Every structure is written in C-alpha cells, then in structure tokens.
C-alpha cells in the first residue's frame, strides 16, 4: 500500500464502497442531502469507534483538529455535531445493517477453514444475547422494568472466526425464545444454546429442518428413558441416554425421541445435562461443542470493552440501532483486515494500534506489525544526542 496515505484511508480500502452505495440507494439515504452524505456519516461513526470517542462533541472536536487530512480519507461533507446527530436520528438504520451483513459474508468466506477447537465438517453456531442497560428517562421506548430501560443484542455467531452472522436489536423485554423462532436454519448445522432457549416447539422445528441443536436441559425436565449407551466416566461423562418427553405440553410439542447427555466438569465442580437431536456424534464431542459456546460470551465482552455500544450518541431507536450496526461492521472490518494481511495480533491489539496511528502516513501492514516500531526506533535522523559527551 502507498505509505503516502493515512492508515485510515488504507483501512477504508477494505470496504466495498459500491455495495455501500447500493445500500444507501435501497433506502434513499441521500434523498435531499446536500453536503453530509451517508458515507460521511459512516466515516464519522467509524472514526468514533476506532478512536474511542465518547460523545458527538468529542467527535466534532477531534475531526476539526485534523481537518486537512479528512478529504484524503474520503470525507466530503463538513462534519458538525448537530449534522451528525440529525443523520443518526433520521437516516434509516437498515442501511448500516445491510452493509454490515455484506462485510459479514465476506469475513465468513475468509474464516471458513479456521479451526475452533473441534474438527467437524458441519457448521457450528452459538446463539445468545447480551443486554445493554439504558437510562429510563432518555430511552423510554426501551423500558422493560419499572425503573429501567435496556436493549438486547441477539446474536447467532459462526464459531469459525467468531463472526456474527445473525443479529437482532430489540427492547430488553423481548424473550430470547422469540428470536430463536426467526433463525434461518441451515441443514446439517449445529446450533448451540443455553437453557434460556428451551422451547420444544422451536426445537422440533430444528429437527424437521434437518438441523441439529445442543442445549442445556432444565432441572425440572419430565422424561422417560428409552435406552442408554455405556460411557467412560473417567472422561467426565455420566450418562448417554435416549429419552422421550412425558410432560403434558412438552410431549406434544416434541413428540419424538431425543438424546440426553450428563457430564461432570471437575474444574468447575458442576454437573451439566445436555439435550440434542444428534445421535451420531460421540457424547464427549457434544459436551465440547457446548463448551465452545463460551466464544460468544467472549464476543459480547469484547465489543462492550472495545467498541462504543454501552453509551450512545443519540436517544432514538434509529440512532441506537445505527450505532450498534456500525460498531458491528467495524468489528467485522478489523477481522477482515487481520485475515487479509495475515496479522498475528489479536483483534483488540489491532484496534488499539489503529486508535493511535489512524492518521499517520505509513503502511497499514507496517503499522500493525513490529516492523513499524522497529523502523521508527532504528531510523537515522542525523540528529545529535542532547546527552552526547
């Protein structure tokens, strides 16, 4: 890459800009817009995510301080606090949702051969949600308790590369089960879930769609054992049974047999019971699949720590969803850059480096590797040392 360009401009080279324009046209995002386009809005919000800005005023002040470099990074409109706030409030958030999905498709194709700890030909997804607490006074539309507001980010994540592939942003009162019914089911894929997603009608739909589920069982599960397989208790397994539900409702909602696996985790000193409709895989692999579900918890922790989705620049539902979807697109963009440039650093390290070198004129690859720092340290500036004797 040309070292005469800023790191930010080189990062933007990884964005499919023609696809972004299509998303804008689909929802008429630039209708009657004279100066501050949707792309200017996206760049401003991306800048905020990459450099940890805290407010609209913070974004405005920092961008004005580097005004001479903005044109070469793609900015065409003049950034003002009120202009960005108005854009977040009024421009359709689905523009950035669709664009994020384009980046997600690109990232999944790059990480398709990655190993997540288990050798399996099937695609494995983890499903979970995270809650973002909000102020009831500022976000009354998101109220879910008497004195509390919140939004939920429901996420289906491909464990290869930890790439989110299905996201829904809802109010905090939306139950997780409702989202499970909206999932696009992929035949032969595994869907790993916690016991909050127990809904036997939805689970039966997985079976009818030739998809597999792995889910924790609740303690009050009513069932009868039909058969069992011997297990090696030295591995932590306690049972591997074929069962049928006997509850008055559950037996009608899931009328066929399923598999019940008991496992004792000696490290946590806890016992887990899993339900699945897959009878072919080894019981220990089923347990390991559930353990891999922890990756989605790490994903939620990562985006809350390193992206701006806990405090929002606007209070409307459109502004909140716009900010969340742009944050997700930045996460995926960093993952794409890591894979395309074969960077060995973690995503957090890459984001930290970008935050301080975003407007430096150097090679992006050098900036993300130790070569950049070594070159800076060993450069010959023909400068005498102040402390030479």
Inter-residue contact 9 to 41 (CB < 8 Å): no
The answer on pLDDT for 244 being more than 90 is: yes
pLDDT band at 379 (very low <50, low <70, confident <90, very high): very low
Q: What is the pLDDT of residue 378?
A: 46
Distance between CA atoms of residues 368 and 361, nearest Å: 13
Among residues 82, 81, 75, 80, the alpha carbon closest in space to that of 38 is found at 75
Distance between CA atoms of residues 279 and 286, nearest Å: 10
In CATH, what is the architecture of 195-292? 2-Layer Sandwich (3.30)
Inter-residue contact 181 to 159 (CB < 8 Å): no
Quick one: average pLDDT of 244-266? 94
Distance between CA atoms of residues 159 and 136, nearest Å: 35
Percent of the chain surpassing pLDDT 70 = 94
CATH 3.30.1370 residue spans of the chain: 195-292
Residue with tokens 């324009």: 21
Tokens coding 32 = 């009657």
From 106-120, 125-139, 272-286, 361-375, the region with the lowest mean pLDDT: 361-375
Backbone angles phi, psi at 81, to 5 degrees: -55, -50
Percent of the chain surpassing pLDDT 90 = 65
Residues pairing with 212 in the sheet: 190
Burial (CB < 10 A; 0-12, 13-18, 19+), residue 340, is: middle
Q: What is the pLDDT of residue 225?
A: 95
317-340 vs 38-51: helix crossing angle, rounded to 10: 70
Quick one: average pLDDT of 219-244? 93
Instruction: Collapse the DSSP code of 204 into the 3-class scheme (helix H, G, I; strand E, B; otherwise coil) and give the result.
Output: helix
Tokens coding 359 = 């407007």
Angle at 361 between CA 359 and CA 362, to 5 degrees: 120
Residues 187-221: tens digit of each pLDDT: 999 999 999 999 999 999 999 999 999 999 999 99
Tokens coding 328 = 């997700």
Distance between CA atoms of residues 353 and 370, nearest Å: 11
Backbone angles phi, psi at 214, to 5 degrees: -130, 120
Inter-residue contact 185 to 211 (CB < 8 Å): yes
Quick one: average pLDDT of 94-109? 95
């Amino acid at each position: 890459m040309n070292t005469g360009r800023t790191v930010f401009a080189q990062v933007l080279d990884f964005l499919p800009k023609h696809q972004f324009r299509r998303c804008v046209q689909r929802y008429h995002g630039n209708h009657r817009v004279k100066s501050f386009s949707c792309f200017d809005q996206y760049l401003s919000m991306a800048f905020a995510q990459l450099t940890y800005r805290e407010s609209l005023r913070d974004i405005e002040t920092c961008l004005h301080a580097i005004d001479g470099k903005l044109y070469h990074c793609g900015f065409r409109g003049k950034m003002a606090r009120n202009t960005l706030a108005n854009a977040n409030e009024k421009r359709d958030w689905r523009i950035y949702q669709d664009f994020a999905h384009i980046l997600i498709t690109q990232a999944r194709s790059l990480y398709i051969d990655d190993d997540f700890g288990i050798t399996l030909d099937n695609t494995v997804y983890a499903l979970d949600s995270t809650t973002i607490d909000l102020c009831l006074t500022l976000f009354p539309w998101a109220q879910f308790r008497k004195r509390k507001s919140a939004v939920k980010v429901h996420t289906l994540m491909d464990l290869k590369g930890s790439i989110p592939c299905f996201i829904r942003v809802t109010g905090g009162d939306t139950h997780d089960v409702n989202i499970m019914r909206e999932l696009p089911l992929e035949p032969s894929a595994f869907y790993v879930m916690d016991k909050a997603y127990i809904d036997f009608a939805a689970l039966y739909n997985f079976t009818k769609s030739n998809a597999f589920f792995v889910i924790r069982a609740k303690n009050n599960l009513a069932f009868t054992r039909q058969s069992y397989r011997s297990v090696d208790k030295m591995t932590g397994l306690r049972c591997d049974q074929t069962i049928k539900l006997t509850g008055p409702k559950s037996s009608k909602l899931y009328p066929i047999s399923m598999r019940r696996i008991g496992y004792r985790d000696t490290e946590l000193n806890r016992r887990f019971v899993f339900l699945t409709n897959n009878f072919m895989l080894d019981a220990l692999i089923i347990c390991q699949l559930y353990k891999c579900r922890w990756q989605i918890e790490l994903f939620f922790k990562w985006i809350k720590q390193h992206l701006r989705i806990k405090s929002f620049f606007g209070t409307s539902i459109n502004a909140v969803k716009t900010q969340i979807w742009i944050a997700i697109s930045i996460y995926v963009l960093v993952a794409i850059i890591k894979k395309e440039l074969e960077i060995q650093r973690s995503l957090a390290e890459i984001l930290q480096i970008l935050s301080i070198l975003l407007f430096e004129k150097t090679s992006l690859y050098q900036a993300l590797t130790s070569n950049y720092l070594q070159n800076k340290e060993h450069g010959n500036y023909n400068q005498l040392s102040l402390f030479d004797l």
